Structure formats: structure tokens, C-alpha cells
Amino acid sequence: MGAPVVFGIGPISVDDLVAVSRDDAIVVLDTPALDRIGAGRAIVDRQTTPVGDGAPGRRSLGPRIPGPAGGRAAPRTATLDASAVEERVVHDRRGGIGLPLSVDRARAVVAARLAGWTRGASGIRLETAVFVAELLNRGVTPVIPSIGSLGDGDETHLASVATLVIGQGEAVLAGERLPAQVALSRVGLAPLDLAVHEGLAFVHHNAYSLGVGALALHRLGALSRLADTTSALSSRAAARSGLGGRGAAFDARVLAGSPSAGTRASGERISELLATPVGPEGARGGRDLDGLRLRATPQINGALADEVTAAVQLVEATLGTASEDPLVDQASGVLRTGGLLHGARLARAFDGLRAAIAHTAAAAERRLGRIDGGGADPRGTGHGLVPGRLGQSAADLVAELRVLATPVVTAGVPDEDSDDPASFAGTSLRLLERSTALLADVLAVEAVVAADTLGPEEHDEWSVGFSVAHAGLRSAIEQELHGQQLVTAALAALGVDRS
């Protein structure tokens, strides 16, 4: 468990969400955030009036506030008390299906919703926000179905969070799946009754797209850097076999001409890993001009890195704004409706990342094809331990990645008349996670084939980073594993978790 993460008036980063979701960091709501949440709730309370049918004990609180854009709010019923009405709002959204999110992903959803509340524009009560922070801090995680978001408010995901708060549904505690009431009791929490407007304050936010998106981007950033490592391994393996792979393409003087920060950083990392020019080391008649798959490596890897950076900036900017519907406008003291929940920018960012992943993976597959079938029999030297057809699996994955690169934002089906232009950002994100996992496998195959081609010996001129990567991969190879076991072991050797 790392240092506490403060959710307050300052920016909340992707790294903050990762710390809370994966490292179980404690969440602290600072005083300015608490004040802002309280001020937003006070506006809702002022716009709430008692309504009823005149019968004793049959009064309920009905807010004189606008409903959400989209027209799917549950009808107000005067004969129900406020908490019952809010439970109906939540129950109506419990339409999610599919396998439950992993614990870290579910925690990311909860953390992203809590982060949104700190802007003070949702109308959530202070005690409810504090309760949800305690869910994170005490390790109680809602069971959240993975499928159901339209990308215009992740309602089905967030309904599961609200359901836990009121003591219904299921939760995971210390690895055990339990009824919500049991899980809450074990950590000393009692369920809450939702007050007026809190149903919408829970479910009207893109917390799944933002929270799980943050985890996906964090992992993809690591893979973009891993692509530089596998590129360096392939470049040296190609040079050793006389198949090109010379280092001039990674020279800072060449890459200074690129407008891309990702390209320049990629070239710098590859140069540091190679340390010395690749070329004479065992070369057999090397080619003067490397294939584009080698020369353009910094440009391809850098393009992915640039898109990851842009997506991180988008997620962090969205986390720092009041993306609510209705929006509690503290400046005027009025609740206003709008289209802030529409996830078009997130959907397009996730779509673009899948295309960049497919391009990066295709280049990696062609690099390993250069050294695995380049005509110089590079692995026919008596030390090959890796199955010769492993590269075919990478080609299979690239074919799937090309299909996954198809944009989702233009292909979504209408849902009722009110949501016909839905973004389906959640769908795009789910496919992005699949693409990210496949990219990891392609890079692992490239790394394994390159390390097998280089053989077991290390060389004095290799950099420390290159030697460490090579040694880890050789350790995995020499276990004589096959298939997915070998790929998983290779990723672990390179410091990457496949999950």
C-alpha cells in the first residue's frame, strides 16, 4: 500500500487512480472537496419540496429540479418516500450483464465516481461521498457486470455501486464474494438510504470509461515502452544475422527532425538499449538499407506513445471537470441539464488507440518475421529452443487486432429515441483492453524469437538494460516452456503483467 491519495480540488491523475485501484492506496477527501460537495447538496435541498396526497405518513420529498437529458428518469411517485424513489432509479439501471469486472477495475469505477463528486456539481450528500470513500479504504468492492454502457453515462456499472451502498447486490471482500449486507457488516459499515436526487447522482457519470480507461492507458503506456525494448532486441538479432538492423535510424540527430515527442523518446530509448552501433557483431553480409519495419520503428512506436499521452490528458482533464447531468451550478444555485455525459471524445480516443495498437503489433510481427524467416537461417545454429512456428501465433494475433481496430463510435446502434447518437465509449474501451492484451502477446513473441536468435551468450558492449532483458528472456526460454506459458513467462521477465 502506497502513500494516501488526496481527492480534492486539485487535479486527479491516471497514476492516482492506478494507486487506489491496484495498489489499494488510502483515499483522503480534503476539506475543500468536502466543502464543495456540501455546497452542491445544499442547492439540491433548497430546490426540494414536500409533496403528497394529503394522507398522514404518505408524504414524500419530490425535487423541483430538472430531470436528466435523455428522458429515461424513473417517474416520480408521490406515495413513495424519497429513498424508495431513488432505489427505483437505481434498480432501473441494473441491466448489466457479462462477467464481473476484476477487483481493480471495479475499484477504478468507484474511485472515478468519487473523483467526480469532489467537483461539487452532482448533488450527492456529504455522508454518501464519505461512505463510498470508506468502501475503497476498507476493501469492499461492488460486483459490477462488465457489459451494458452506452458511453453516455455508465449507468449499468454505477448502478452496481449504488446497490452496494444501500446494502443490496454483492461485493468482494478479501477475495471472497459475499452478499452486500454481509460484506458491509464485516468492515463495520451500515447501508445508507439514498436521499432525493442521489440515484441520478450515482449513475449519471462516465466513471467506467474514465476509471477502467485510466488502468488501460497506464498498461498501454508500459507496452509502448516495451515495444522499444523488443525493437532493440530485434535490431541486434537482425544485425547479428546479416539482415540489417543498423542503428543509424535511432540516431538523435536524425530523429531531431521529427515533430513527435513520442518518436524522439522512442529513438532515445532504443539507442540507450543498443549502447553501441549494431552491425559487425557476427554479421553475414548485412544490407545497406534496413526494411521499413526496422528503420521506422521510432516513428511507429512513437505514434502509439503520442496517442497514449493524448488520451491520458483527455481522461485527466475529464476527471477534473464537472461532467454531471443534471449539473449543480454553484455559481447560480440552479440545476441545469445538458449533454456533458456524451462520451464522444473518449470513444474516439479509444478507437484511435486500437488502430495505433494494430499498427504497432503489425510492425513487431514483421520485425520478428525478418529474423525468424529472413532467409539466413538465423535460428539454425544449434541453440534454438523456441518452437519454430511461434511467429505464426503473432501473425494470427495481428489479424485479430486489425479487426478490433474498426471504429465503434460510428457503428453504435440506437437505444430508444433519446440515445440514438450514443458514443459507446464503454464498448470501445472493452475492445481496447482486448487489443492491449494481444499487443502484449505479440511483443512477447518478438522478444522471445530475438533472444533465441541472439543465443545464450552476452557481450561486453551490450548495455545494462539490454543485458537484463536478454538474461530474463533466456531464463524463460531455457525452462523449455511452450505456447502461452512461454509468452507469459517472457512478459514477466520483461516486467509486464499480462492481466
Q: Say which range, 53-57, 88-92, 138-142, has the weakest mean pLDDT.
A: 53-57
- Higher confidence at residue 470 or residue 75? 470
CATH topology identical between 5-205 and 211-493: no
- Give the pLDDT of residue 375: 43
The CATH architecture one would assign to domain 5-205 is: Orthogonal Bundle (1.10)
Q: Could you read off the pLDDT of 406-438 as tens digits, one per residue?
A: 999 887 666 666 656 789 999 999 999 999 999
Q: Which fold has domain 211-493?
A: Fumarase C; Chain A, domain 2 (1.20.200)
Percent of residues, the chain, with pLDDT higher than 70: 84
- Give the pLDDT of residue 255: 81
- Give the pLDDT of residue 298: 92
Asked whether 47 and 64 are in contact (CB, 8 A), the reply is: yes
- The highest-confidence range among 44-48, 244-248, 328-332, by mean pLDDT, is 328-332
Round to the nearest angstrom and report the end-to-end CA distance of the chain. Answer: 20
Domain map (residue ranges) of the chain: 5-205, 211-493
Segment 277-298 shows an average pLDDT of 58
Q: Could you read off the pLDDT of 367-392 as tens digits, one per residue?
A: 988 887 654 444 444 446 888 889 99
- Give the pLDDT of residue 277: 62
Query: Which pLDDT band holds residue 254 (cuts at 50, 70, 90)?
Result: confident
Are β-strands 59-63 and 97-100 bridged in parallel, bridged antiparallel, or unpaired? unpaired
Residue 200, CB-side half-sphere exposure with 13 Å CA sphere = 31
Q: Say which range, 32-46, 245-259, 376-390, has the weakest mean pLDDT.
A: 376-390
- Higher confidence at residue 258 or residue 211? 211
pLDDT at 450 over 90: yes
